[in-house]
């Protein structure tokens, strides 16, 4: 099966896998376009008050935001609870919209290629009920279910060459049969849609280029023309630009629309008459709106970096949250009138317990606190605004400081995130040097970050394809935020593109395309050390004296390191030949430093480094079950077991005592695994020591696996 084909087996992590924490990526955002966020998760999920669904790349993320997940929003209680999330991987293109059915048992999702999938959420295999490869000729921008869970409205873009292709459709949920004709917006581009809850049924669609809302009745559905008392049409309540979002309240009594003209329009839910209009709610384009469960309040978000809380009955703004200023204070950006692009608010929703949340362009999920004079009976009250952070792009590498229980992950966008290692809670992103991150993108590098190491409790080194080494240290934010951001304090030029980095105790070795560099005493202490071969991986002993280098020529070179010698800091000690048939892509030294593990595109080998000839403990063609390049290997704390991950989405566990057996976790990360390590902490005060494996991958997820029972069952 092609890696891009999807079936029931690989649309999600198999339920049999011992996944205990699944921290998903943040929402994907495109400049100038709203995001689709779903906080109405249906009757089947009504007990899960903090659940929300959004799209991230080719993934659909369903996550629960509770007080422990938000850390500090509900108090100072220590965060020990694992992250609860589900990631659906049934699309082969970027997902643009996903919505729960009213029952909560099914999800309809669409992507940028116009493919629609209807799949079950209440079934652990998440089987696909309906798939339409070309539901629309262009991207699907929004989806809405009817109250009977029988019909789905989809809107987006039609074909640019076929004028007969629709931009709006309403279909049966199980057969895909069209059940009516919806209006066509200008240039075949629609941005949003909404089904009226209950009967009589109504559908509202919004145009991207015509500043128009079209109303429909049915079934079968057809246009409903509405004229106001003054002779003007309710369809043209907005004056210019795009209508970005239309939403009904829970009872279907009224509908609201927002758009480029910065106004909010209210309509009668049945007759579609225009009931009111609030102008200049924001100072920028309004991208999204959402009603709370009572239908009395409306939440809006805008490109001006704010979210507004509106009384939908009196039609007036009750409160405004300035999310942009909050992010500026956390990341040390000087406050001015300009709204950073990263802080533009692209989507909003009320969770099932009426907690308001908002999505920023940089991916942050903001949980908004109710003012003390509003909704004092709300089921959830947060004392301050909280940001849920993470990654939007593939994670390329990670490292863990076991002493402080802190994990650092880096991605291809140049972003570094700090986590609590034991439970996978994201704490904060690293901040670029003061005064440089004017757009709040949080990128400390201008290229993809290739490696990261933690030197001590408060110092982290990163290298990236901008050919620089960045040194970041702990900086307390001016706001006194409990999750104070690490900040870049020094940048060093490498004069070559880096591809890896390893550390001992006081020495760091950087692998570049031109050779090796040594970092010692807070500076690069050597020129580029050229090698007579092409290095592909490196590993350094804890005492800084022995360097292991994997090569393109299938060999492993062992060097003695002398950091006091500027002329010849590396002296070749031994070469392991004929150990691999392909390039050595990963190296890992055991905790007691008596064994070296190496891996190529297929084989995992283990060598005894205490013998003069580096005897093979596990030779090639024995642990050879990966089907693509092995990118990372990790030793268990007692050095009895080895974990390997590769581009085939698989994690394997191996035992030195029982070499012919293995444990296989398929489909662990969509796109491949980029990092593995065993945690050294005994979590939650358990008396029994558990084996917890942490992994990161191209899907931007951070996973924790409790492999204790699998290891005991397979290896004894």
Tens digits of residue pLDDT in 640-662: 999 999 999 999 999 999 999 99
451 within some domain = yes
pLDDT, tens digit, 9 for 90 and up, residues 311-326? 999 999 999 999 999 9
Q: Read off the DSSP letter of residue 188.
A: G
Reported as a pLDDT band with limits 50, 70 and 90, residue 476 is low
Reported as a pLDDT band with limits 50, 70 and 90, residue 400 is very high
Spatial CB neighbours of 669, under 8 Å, sequence gap ≥ 6? 645, 649, 695, 696, 697, 698, 699, 701, 703
Q: Is the pLDDT of residue 53 over 90?
A: yes
Quick check: 290 and 39 in contact, CB under 8 A? Answer: yes
Largest CA distance in the chain: 95
Quote the tokens at residue 422: 């034991």
458 within some domain = yes
Nearest of 170, 214, 162 to residue 188 by alpha carbon: 162
Q: Bigger pLDDT: 437 or 484?
A: 437
Quick check: 320 and 308 in contact, CB under 8 A? Answer: yes
pLDDT, tens digit, 9 for 90 and up, residues 88-105? 999 999 999 999 999 999
Tell me, what's the pLDDT at 194?
A: 98
Quote the tokens at residue 472: 């970041």
Q: Is the pLDDT of residue 337 over 80?
A: no
516 within some domain = no
pLDDT, tens digit, 9 for 90 and up, residues 249-298? 999 999 999 999 999 999 999 999 999 999 999 999 999 999 999 999 99
434 within some domain = yes
Reported as a pLDDT band with limits 50, 70 and 90, residue 139 is very high
597 within some domain = no
Q: Read off the DSSP letter of residue 221.
A: B
Quote the tokens at residue 624: 């050879």
Q: Is the pLDDT of residue 530 over 70?
A: yes
Tell me, what's the pLDDT at 482?
A: 39
The residues with which 116 forms a beta bridge, in sequence order, are: 110, 132
Q: Is the pLDDT of residue 671 over 90?
A: yes
Q: Is the pLDDT of residue 134 over 70?
A: yes
Tell me, what's the pLDDT at 331?
A: 86
- The arithmetic mean of pLDDT across residues 423-433, rounded, is 91
- The arithmetic mean of pLDDT across residues 430-453, rounded, is 92
| Torsion angles phi and psi, residue 217, rounded to 5 | -125, 160
Tell me, what's the pLDDT at 423?
A: 84
Quick check: 604 and 618 in contact, CB under 8 A? Answer: yes
Distance CA 244, CA 269 (A): 19
pTM of the model: 0.93
The order of strands in the sheet holding 416-420 is 395-401, 406-411, 416-420, 425-429
Tell me, what's the pLDDT at 78?
A: 44
Q: Is the pLDDT of residue 230 over 90?
A: no
Quote the tokens at residue 67: 């007080």
pLDDT, tens digit, 9 for 90 and up, residues 608-623? 999 999 999 999 999 9
468 within some domain = yes
Burial 532-553 (b: 16+ CB within 10 A, else e): eeebbbbbbbeebebbbbbbee
Tell me, what's the pLDDT at 75?
A: 41
Number of domains in the chain: 1
658: number of Cβ within 10 Å: 12
Which residue range forms the structural domain that includes residue 485? Answer: 393-490
Tell me, what's the pLDDT at 372?
A: 75
456 within some domain = yes
Quote the tokens at residue 86: 């589900």
Q: Is the pLDDT of residue 477 over 90?
A: no
Q: Is the pLDDT of residue 378 over 80?
A: no
Q: Bigger pLDDT: 686 or 251?
A: 251
Q: Is the pLDDT of residue 70 over 80?
A: no
Tell me, what's the pLDDT at 415?
A: 98
Percent of the chain that is helix, strand, coil (3-state, to 5): 5, 45, 50
> Mean pLDDT, the chain, as a whole number?
91
């Amino acid at each position: 099966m092609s890696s891009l084909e999807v079936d029931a087996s690989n649309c999600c992590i198999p339920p049999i896998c011992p996944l205990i924490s699944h921290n998903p990526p943040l929402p994907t955002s495109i400049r100038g376009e709203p995001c689709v966020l779903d906080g109405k998760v249906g009757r089947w999920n009504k007990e899960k008050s903090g659940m929300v669904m959004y799209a991230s790349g080719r993934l659909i993320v369903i996550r629960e935001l509770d007080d422990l997940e938000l850390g500090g929003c509900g108090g100072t209680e220590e965060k020990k609870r694992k992250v609860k999330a589900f990631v659906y991987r049934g699309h082969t293109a970027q997902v643009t919209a996903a919505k729960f059915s009213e029952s909560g048992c099914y999800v309809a999702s669409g992507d940028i290629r116009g493919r629609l999938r209807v799949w079950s959420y209440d079934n652990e295999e998440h089987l696909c009920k309906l798939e339409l490869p070309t539901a629309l000729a262009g991207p699907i921008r929004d989806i809405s279910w009817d109250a009977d869970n029988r019909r789905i409205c989809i809107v987006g873009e039609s074909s640019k060459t076929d004028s007969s292709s629709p931009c709006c459709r309403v279909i049966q949920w199980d057969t895909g049969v069209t059940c009516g004709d919806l209006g066509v917006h200008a240039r075949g581009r629609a941005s949003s849609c909404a089904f009226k809850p209950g009967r009589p049924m109504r559908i509202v669609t919004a145009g991207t280029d015509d500043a128009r809302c079209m109303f429909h009745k049915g079934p079968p559905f057809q246009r409903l023309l509405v004229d106001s008392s003054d002779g003007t049409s309710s369809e043209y309540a907005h004056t210019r630009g795009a209508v970005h979002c239309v939403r009904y309240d829970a009872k279907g009594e009224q509908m609201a629309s927002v758009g480029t003209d910065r106004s909010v329009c209210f309509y009668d839910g049945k007759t579609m008459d225009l009931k009111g209009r609030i102008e200049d709610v924001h100072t920028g384009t309004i991208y999204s709106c959402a009603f709370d469960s009572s239908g009395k309040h409306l939440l809006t978000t805008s490109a001006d970096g704010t979210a507004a809380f509106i009384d939908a009955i009196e039609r007036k703004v009750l409160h405004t949250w300035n999310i942009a200023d909050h992010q500026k204070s956390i990341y040390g950006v000087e406050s001015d009138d300009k709204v950073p692009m990263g802080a533009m608010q692209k989507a909003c929703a009320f969770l099932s317990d009426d907690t308001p949340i908002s999505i920023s362009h940089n991916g942050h999920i903001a949980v908004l606190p109710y003012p003390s004079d509003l909704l004092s009976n709300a089921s959830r009250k947060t004392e301050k605004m909280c940001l849920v952070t993470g990654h939007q792009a593939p994670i390329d590498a990670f490292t863990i400081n076991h002493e402080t229980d802190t994990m650092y992950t880096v991605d291809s966008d140049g972003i570094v995130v700090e986590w609590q290692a034991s439970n996978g809670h994201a704490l904060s992103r690293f901040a670029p040097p003061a005064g440089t991150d004017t757009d709040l993108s949080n990128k400390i590098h201008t290229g993809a970050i290739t490696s990261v190491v933690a030197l001590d409790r408060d110092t982290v080194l990163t290298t990236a394809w901008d050919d620089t080494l960045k040194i970041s240290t702990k900086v307390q934010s001016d706001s006194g935020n409990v999750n104070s951001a690490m900040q870049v304090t020094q940048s060093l030029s490498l004069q070559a593109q880096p591809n890896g980095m390893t550390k001992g105790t006081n020495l760091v070795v950087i692998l570049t395309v031109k050779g090796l560099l040594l970092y010692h005493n807070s500076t690069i202490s050597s020129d580029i050390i050229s090698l007579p071969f092409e290095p592909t991986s490196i590993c350094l002993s804890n005492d800084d004296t022995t360097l292991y280098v994997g090569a393109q020529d299938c060999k492993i070179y062992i060097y003695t390191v002398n950091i006091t010698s500027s002329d010849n800091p590396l002296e070749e000690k031994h070469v392991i030949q004929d150990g691999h048939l392909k390039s050595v892509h990963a190296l890992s030294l055991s905790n007691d430093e008596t064994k070296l593990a190496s891996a190529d595109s297929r084989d995992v080998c283990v060598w005894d480094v205490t013998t003069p000839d580096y005897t093979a403990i596990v030779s090639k063609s024995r642990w050879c079950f990966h089907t693509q390049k092995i990118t990372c290997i990790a030793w268990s704390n007692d050095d009895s077991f080895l974990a390997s991950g590769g581009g085939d989405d698989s994690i394997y566990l191996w035992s030195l005592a029982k070499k012919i057996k293995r444990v296989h976790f398929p489909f662990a990360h969509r796109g491949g695994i980029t990092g593995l390590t065993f945690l050294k902490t005994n979590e939650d005060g358990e008396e029994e020591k558990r084996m917890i494996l942490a992994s990161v991958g191209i899907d931007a997820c951070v996973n924790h696996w409790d492999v204790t029972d699998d290891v005991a069952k397979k290896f004894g």
